[in-house]
Structure 1
């Protein structure tokens, strides 16, 4: 996949296909500015996982993986399927997720 092209999506838009593998798509209702902030948290948490595993720090790895999970849930990529949630539930998921991620970063 070229870096400037969006990944292929399934016909229902629920999944993206990357190298032949399906992954749950980010909730399209999440405002782009908020989604971008969550992606920054996700990338930071993934870097923390790498640092912790390289340093063999099990506690730091658990904490970093928990941050990855919170970011993925906030984006709608894990947890309850966003297409099965009400608009209010979806908004609450991304607002609470972002607040928790921002608190983690402090």
Structure 2
């Protein structure tokens, strides 16, 4: 969850080696987007975005769901507007907020 929004996690059935390779591919493509953005290379940006999407689909973060229990895909939904609203309301987010602002310690 990021800022109250649910995000789909990677498929936990992936082996550590497969996951590591896909994450490395994802991060490499993201680095290319950054460097190509600084130079204005729109073709490289488009190609790297395609690689990002492919890595995220392979990780299970996008595309068809990897679970088989019939639960809906609530990716990118606000937690307070989902069946997880009560759970979300029960979280103590003040500690996470303090930490993210660098004031915890």
Coordinate RMSD, CA, aligned: 1.6
CA displacement at 1:71 relative to structure 2:
0.4
- The one-character-per-residue Cα deviations of 1:62-96 (angstroms, maximum 9, x if unpaired) are 00000000100000001111114xxxxxxxxxxxx
Unmatched segments (≥5 aa) in structure 2? 69-105
Partner of 1:101 in structure 2? none
What is the CA-CA distance between 1:19 and the residue it aligns to? 3.5
**What residue in structure 1 maps to residue 31 of structure 2?**
47
**What pairs with 1:55-94 in structure 2 (closer than 5 Å)?**
55-84=39-68
From 23, 38, 48, the equivalent of 2:22 is 38
What stretches of structure 1 of length at least 5 have no aligned partner?
1-16, 85-106
Q: Following the alignment from structure 1 to structure 2, what is the Cα–Cα distance between the partners of residues 51 and 36? A: 23
Whole-angstrom distance in 2 between the partners of 1:49 and 1:19: 24
1:27 positional shift: 0.4
Q: Which moved more, 1:41-50 or 1:20-29?
A: 20-29
Q: Between Structure 1 and Structure 2, which shows a larger proportion of strand residues? A: 1
CA–CA distance in 2 between the matches of 1:19 and 1:44? Answer: 26
| Residue in structure 2 matching 1:28, options 5, 12, 25 | 12
State the TM-score, normalized to the length of structure 1: 0.61
